[in-house]
C-alpha cells in the first residue's frame, strides 16, 4: 500500500489501524532546535480524541502520545520524530455483523476490490482514527509556525442547514473551544448541538462545513504551476476522511460576481496589501501576504444506527443494522484535523521557500 506519506520537506508517514495495538507516525524535516511542549501536543490530541462530549463517539481512548525519537532536552534534534498512540478501547465484536457485509458509503467494498482483503473492524486503515497521527504532526507544525509568526484556527461554520454568518477573519480563537460543537457563534452553536443530539437519538447523522483561517503567512509561498499553494491545501483537506468539498477565498460564491466586483485592488499600507480579500490570500498559486481562508465540506457520518439496504460479499441483498459507538457528526472532532493539515502545508512551503532565492 502506497500513499501513506504527506509533504515534501516537512513530511509525515503514518501507520496503524483502528483496532490494532497502536497508531503512529514518523515525522521528517522538522528543523533542529525547535522548542517542544509535549503538553501542547497532548492538548491538541485531546481536542480530537473520542469520548470528549455527549455529541461525539463514546469510545474511551486517552490518546496518550509516546514520543520515541527525535527529541532531546525538549528540543528537536533534526532526526526523524517517531511517535505512537496506543489503542486501548476497541470493541471489535461490534463489527461482527459487517464481516461479510458492505456498509453503505464506507470504504469496505472499494478497499476489498483493490486489495482483495479488508480489516472489517472499524475500517482498519481507512478509519478516521488514523487522523490522530496527523494531529501530532500538525502540533509540531504549529510550534514551527509560531516560531515564524504564523497562526491559524478552524471552527465549525455549519451543521446541516444551520449556519453561522460570523466573519471568519474576525473570530477570537479562544471562543471556539467554549462550546462542544466548536462554533464561536454561541447562539448558533446551541442550535447546532441540539440538532446533533436529535440526530443521535434518531440513529442518524449530520454533515456540515469547517472554516479555517491562516494569518501571518509571508507573500511568496507556493509554486505557480502544479503545486499551487491552494492546490496543495486542497489536496490536504480532501485527504481527510468524510471530506466532500474544498473552496478558498470567495469560492463558488465568487462565480456570481463580475470581474469588476471580484478583483482585489492593491493598496500600500506600510506594505503592499489588497483592499479586499476575495482571493483568499492566494493569487497565481502563490500567497500574497493577506490572510488565507477556506471552507471544507464534510458529509454526514456514514455509520448510522438505522436499517439500511446493502449487499454481502456474495452479492446477496441484505439488511444492515449497525451497532457500536460512532460520531453522529464528525465536525467537532474534525476541527483540529483541519488545522493540523493546514499547518503541515504551511510549514512545508515555508521550508521549501528557503531554497528559492538568495
Q: How does pLDDT run across 188-236, given as a tens digit for each residue?
A: 999 999 999 999 999 999 999 999 999 999 999 999 999 999 999 999 9
Tell me the pLDDT tens digit for each residue of 135-156: 999 999 999 999 999 999 999 9
Q: What CA–CA distances, in Å, run from 261 to 25, 245, 257, 295? A: 46, 25, 6, 21
Residue 34, φ and ψ in degrees, nearest 5:
-80, 125
Q: What is the pLDDT of residue 217?
A: 98
- Please check whether residue 145 is in contact with residue 347, taking contact to mean a CB–CB distance below 8 angstroms: yes
pTM over 0.85: yes
CA dist., res. 266 & res. 274, Å (int): 4
Residue 76, φ and ψ in degrees, nearest 5:
-70, 145
Tell me the pLDDT tens digit for each residue of 27-68: 999 999 999 999 999 999 999 998 788 888 777 778 999 999
Q: What is the pLDDT of residue 155?
A: 98
Which residue stretches of 148-242 are H helix? Answer: 173-176, 186-201, 229-238
Radius of gyration of the chain (CA): 21
User: E strands, 190-337, where?
Assistant: 208-215, 243-248, 266-268, 272-274, 282-283, 286-287, 292-298, 308-311, 317-320
Q: What is the pLDDT of residue 62?
A: 85
The residue written with cell numbers 467494498 in the block is: 109
What would the grid cell of residue 202 be? 434518531
Burial of 172 (0-12, 13-18, 19+ CB in 10 A): exposed
Mean pLDDT on 154-170:
97
- Please check whether residue 12 is in contact with residue 6, taking contact to mean a CB–CB distance below 8 angstroms: yes
**Where residue 237 falls among pLDDT bands split at 50, 70, 90?**
very high
CA dist., res. 273 & res. 264, Å (int): 9
CA dist., res. 155 & res. 169, Å (int): 11
Mean pLDDT on 6-23:
94
Query: Side by side, which strands form the sheet with 65-67?
Result: 5-6, 11-16, 22-28, 81-86, 65-67
CA dist., res. 122 & res. 23, Å (int): 13
Tell me the pLDDT tens digit for each residue of 323-336: 767 889 999 999 99
- pLDDT of 356 above 70: no
- Please check whether residue 293 is in contact with residue 303, taking contact to mean a CB–CB distance below 8 angstroms: no
Residues in the chain: 358
Burial of 268 (0-12, 13-18, 19+ CB in 10 A): exposed
Tell me the pLDDT tens digit for each residue of 269-312: 989 999 999 999 999 999 999 999 999 999 999 999 999 999 99
Any bridge partners for residue 211, and if so which? 155, 295
How are beta strands 71-72 and 151-159 bridged, if at all? unpaired
CA dist., res. 209 & res. 246, Å (int): 10
Q: Which domains does the chain have, with CATH numbers?
A: 5-353 (3.60.150.10)
Kindly state the percentage of the chain with pLDDT values over 70. 96
Q: What is the pLDDT of residue 92?
A: 64
- Please check whether residue 37 is in contact with residue 26, taking contact to mean a CB–CB distance below 8 angstroms: no
Amino acid at each position: 500500500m502506497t500513499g501513506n506519506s504527506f509533504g515534501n520537506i516537512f513530511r509525515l508517514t503514518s501507520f496503524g489501524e483502528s483496532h490494532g495495538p497502536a497508531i503512529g507516525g514518523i515525522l521528517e524535516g522538522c528543523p533542529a532546535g525547535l522548542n517542544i511542549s509535549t503538553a501542547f501536543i497532548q492538548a491538541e490530541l485531546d481536542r480530537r480524541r473520542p469520548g470528549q462530549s455527549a455529541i461525539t463517539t463514546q469510545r474511551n481512548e486517552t490518546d496518550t502520545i509516546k514520543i520515541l525519537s527525535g527529541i532531546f532536552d525538549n528540543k528537536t534534534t533534526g532526526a526523524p520524530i517517531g511517535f505512537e498512540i496506543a489503542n486501548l478501547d476497541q470493541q471489535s465484536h461490534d463489527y461482527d455483523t459487517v464481516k461479510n457485509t458492505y456498509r453503505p458509503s464506507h470504504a469496505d467494498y472499494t478497499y476489498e476490490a483493490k486489495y482483495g482483503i479488508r480489516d472489517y473492524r472499524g475500517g482498519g486503515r481507512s478509519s478516521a482514527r488514523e487522523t490522530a497521527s496527523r494531529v501530532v504532526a500538525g502540533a509540531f507544525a504549529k510550534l514551527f509556525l509560531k516560531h515564524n509568526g504564523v497562526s491559524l484556527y478552524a471552527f465549525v461554520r455549519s451543521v446541516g442547514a444551520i449556519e453561522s454568518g460570523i466573519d471568519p477573519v474576525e473570530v477570537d480563537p479562544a471562543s471556539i473551544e467554549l462550546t462542544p460543537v466548536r462554533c464561536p457563534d454561541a447562539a448558533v452553536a446551541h442550535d447546532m448541538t441540539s440538532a446533533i443530539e436529535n440526530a443521535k437519538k434518531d440513529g442518524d447523522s449530520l454533515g456540515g462545513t469547517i472554516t479555517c483561517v491562516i494569518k501571518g503567512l509571508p507573500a511568496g509561498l507556493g509554486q505557480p504551476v502544479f503545486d499551487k499553494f491552494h492546490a496543495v491545501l486542497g489536496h490536504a483537506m480532501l485527504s481527510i476522511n468524510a471530506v466532500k468539498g474544498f473552496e478558498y477565498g470567495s469560492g463558488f460564491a465568487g462565480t456570481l460576481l463580475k470581474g469588476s466586483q471580484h478583483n482585489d485592488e492593491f493598496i500600500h499600507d506600510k506594505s503592499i496589501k489588497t483592499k479586499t480579500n476575495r482571493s483568499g490570500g492566494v493569487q497565481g498559486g502563490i500567497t500574497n501576504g493577506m490572510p488565507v481562508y477556506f471552507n471544507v465540506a464534510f458529509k454526514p457520518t456514514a455509520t448510522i444506527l438505522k436499517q439500511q439496504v446493502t449487499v454481502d460479499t456474495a452479492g446477496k441483498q441484505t439488511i444492515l443494522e449497525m451497532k457500536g459507538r460512532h460520531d453522529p457528526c464528525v465536525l467537532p472532532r474534525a476541527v483540529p484535523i483541519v488545522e493540523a493539515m493546514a499547518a503541515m502545508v504551511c510549514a512545508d512551503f515555508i521550508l521549501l521557500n528557503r531554497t528559492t532565492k538568495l
